[in-house]
A and B are shown apart, each in its own frame.
Chain A
């Protein structure tokens, strides 16, 4: 690995935002391939962050700091990626369903694919069925991710899937669901494409769904 790329990798891993920004600017000035900077410098670092998390070396705060560091670097890189026609892995819209204000789980899940160079659209919490449908209609979304912590809001996942069907949009997106009261059976029942029991499984599931 190029030495500069290694430094970028380390800065993401350690959450050193200022150092990362300086380093990204330096490597861009050296005409390094922006895709290489992204994949070997940043995405690889976030994969390592994910491994640390799985091995209980990192908690979410460390992951979040690393993810935000990566986002800071990515904001410098994006114009160069666009110029080189490098596209994100996919776009995921993720929100908590109507009647539910919980967002920690949703935010944790959103953080994971962001670190794997997915683009994230986040309509927030207590999101109406209409708003989800609108998000799918108006954006080039490959995956719609629905979250809830409440059994009394679960039905709105089913209602959302049905609404996509009625709007003729169901085949446009893959739907993945998650949250404490959710399980694989429920996902199957409502016609979702996948269920993620843990935030850390969101990226493998998302990659599987877009294949």
Chain B
């Protein structure tokens, strides 16, 4: 197990898009994190039922999508790109179905590479179907078996990267978000989530090593992006969503402690923290992800990204072209601009980074906590603690304090109601005990046992 007790990136000048202390090189020579930002395009099916009878149509849709995006990549003369295939639940539940698509994507990418010299990579992300059992069985049962089989088959079929959007702990986190319950959020992420990540990523790393593919990374999308979208809809305060974002860092770091090598998932907006700590490259998304969800962080997320993504887009016809092709074009132009700045020298890349930061940081606390200097400060504080729980607790205390000071200093404006919430979160953070066993005992009294199987997290109670 890897231990992270100090930052891999200590200097703000070195904290930039396209460069990471530990770049990744694929078998075909594509290197991520060594100077160039590549697009990572993610596409998905239009509205349709997925079953045995519609599988030919599923394959036809993916064929259309991959051919369209590869064609556009050639036309816009790009050097390299990554495609992410996020498996829908049905395609994970039936691994043999899902792998049919992987073969199509791999084949088309190989042909594009052979004919045009463009370096490509395929990230395959099986769905965390464990949550289909309620409460979920996380370590046993048909959903677990199907999910790991999906990883194996897709690794064998040509994935370069394996990833997942895991949801261990989420069964109590949604309630925590909408009730403003910081302690439950910390328990969900710092205890349950961290335990599950250790189990899950031991298996994923093992599968990756068996098939000689890269165990890429995970995301706390189901936790922090759920909060972000709710904040965008004014259902919860923005400060609460900002705090949750930082609470996810320790949990997501566990993947790297168990052997993940990056790049993290595009929707892992905790990625900047992970990059600062591990030095591995990260994928991120922003403005071009509006096709999937709106956000207040459309530009700032470019600041330290190594792959630039669109989140996910349905295969529907737009005026310009099919939506995945349109997304590909948008990502190519965005990355072209970033790479043009860095080709002039690091000082120009820093300028571009700083403009991306300035665009968003003063308008929303969720953007503020993604400022590279803020990320370095918070990351340093987080990993000064020895365990996932204490790191998550520290994240809560530091983030609330930071947001209060930043608001008072006029770094961004908070409404009276949001400020009231910051005080409320501060009180809750102060109540988190330092003793992990005491915290667990406390939470076991409160957790709804109908929603979560504690034994699946190796927790007795």
Residue B236 at the chain A interface, CB threshold 8 Å? yes
Stretch in contact with the other chain, from B47-55, B211-219, B277-285: B47-55
Residue A83 at the chain B interface, CB threshold 8 Å? no
1/0 contact string of B160-194 vs chain A (CB within 8 Å): 00000000000000100111100000000000000
Q: Is A151 in contact with B174, judged by CB distance below 8 angstroms?
A: no
Whole-angstrom distance between the alpha carbons of A64 and B47 in the complex?
A: 33
Contact partners of A155 in chain B: CB under 8 A:
47-49
Residue A193 at the chain B interface, CB threshold 8 Å? no
Q: Nearest-CB distance from B146 to chain A (Å)?
A: 15
Nearest to A111 among chain B residues (CB) is: B178
Contact partners of A125 in chain B: CB under 8 A:
134
Q: Is A126 in contact with B132, judged by CB distance below 8 angstroms?
A: yes
Q: In the complex, how many residue pairs between chain A and chain B have their CB atoms under 8 Å apart? A: 58
Whole-angstrom distance between the alpha carbons of A65 and B181 in the complex?
A: 11
Whole-angstrom distance between the alpha carbons of A108 and B179 in the complex?
A: 11
Interface of chain B residues 194 through 233 with chain A (CB within 8 A): 226, 230
Residue A122 at the chain B interface, CB threshold 8 Å? no
Contact partners of B47 in chain A: CB under 8 A:
151-152, 154-155, 181
Q: Nearest-CB distance from A6 to chain B (Å)?
A: 24
Nearest to B49 among chain A residues (CB) is: A155
Q: Is A103 in contact with B174, judged by CB distance below 8 angstroms?
A: yes
A57, A104, A108 interface centre (most CB from chain B within 10 Å): A104
Q: Is B417 in contact with A104, judged by CB distance below 8 angstroms?
A: no
Residue A168 at the chain B interface, CB threshold 8 Å? no
Q: Is A152 in contact with B230, judged by CB distance below 8 angstroms?
A: no
Nearest to B181 among chain A residues (CB) is: A61
Whole-angstrom distance between the alpha carbons of A117 and B47 in the complex?
A: 36
Residue A107 at the chain B interface, CB threshold 8 Å? yes
Interface of chain A residues 140 through 168 with chain B (CB within 8 A): 151-152, 154-156
Residue from B45, B49, B88, B230 in contact with A104 in the complex, judged by beta carbons closer than 8 Å:
B230
Nearest to B176 among chain A residues (CB) is: A61
Nearest to B231 among chain A residues (CB) is: A59
Chain A contact-residue range equals: 20 to 34
Known A104-B226, A126-B132: A56·B415 in contact at CB below 8 Å: yes
Interface of chain A residues 113 through 143 with chain B (CB within 8 A): 124-126
Whole-angstrom distance between the alpha carbons of A61 and B184 in the complex?
A: 14
B49, B174, B237 interface centre (most CB from chain A within 10 Å): B49
Whole-angstrom distance between the alpha carbons of A31 and B93 in the complex?
A: 59
Residue B314 at the chain A interface, CB threshold 8 Å? yes
Q: Is B179 in contact with A104, judged by CB distance below 8 angstroms?
A: no
Whole-angstrom distance between the alpha carbons of A108 and B236 in the complex?
A: 12
Known A60-B230, A64-B179, A126-B132: A152·B48 in contact at CB below 8 Å: yes
Residue B433 at the chain A interface, CB threshold 8 Å? no
Contact partners of B45 in chain A: CB under 8 A:
151-152
Nearest to B129 among chain A residues (CB) is: A101
Contact partners of A191 in chain B: CB under 8 A:
none
Residue B131 at the chain A interface, CB threshold 8 Å? yes
Residue from A61, A101, A103, A181 in contact with B179 in the complex, judged by beta carbons closer than 8 Å:
A61
Whole-angstrom distance between the alpha carbons of A60 and B226 in the complex?
A: 14
Interface of chain B residues 33 through 48 with chain A (CB within 8 A): 44-48
Q: Is B417 in contact with A152, judged by CB distance below 8 angstroms?
A: no
Residue from A64, A124, A126, A156 in contact with B178 in the complex, judged by beta carbons closer than 8 Å:
A64
Whole-angstrom distance between the alpha carbons of A61 and B49 in the complex?
A: 35
Q: Give the top 4 A-B pairs by smallest Cβ distance, nearest first.
A: A61-B180, A60-B235, A151-B47, A154-B47
Known: A60-B236, A126-B134. 11 other contacts (CB 8 A): A56-B415, A60-B230, A61-B179, A65-B179, A99-B90, A104-B177, A126-B132, A151-B47, A151-B314, A152-B44, A152-B90
Q: What are 11 A-B residue pairs whose CB atoms fall within 8 Å in the complex?
A: A56-B234, A59-B237, A60-B230, A60-B235, A61-B179, A64-B178, A99-B90, A101-B131, A108-B235, A152-B44, A156-B49
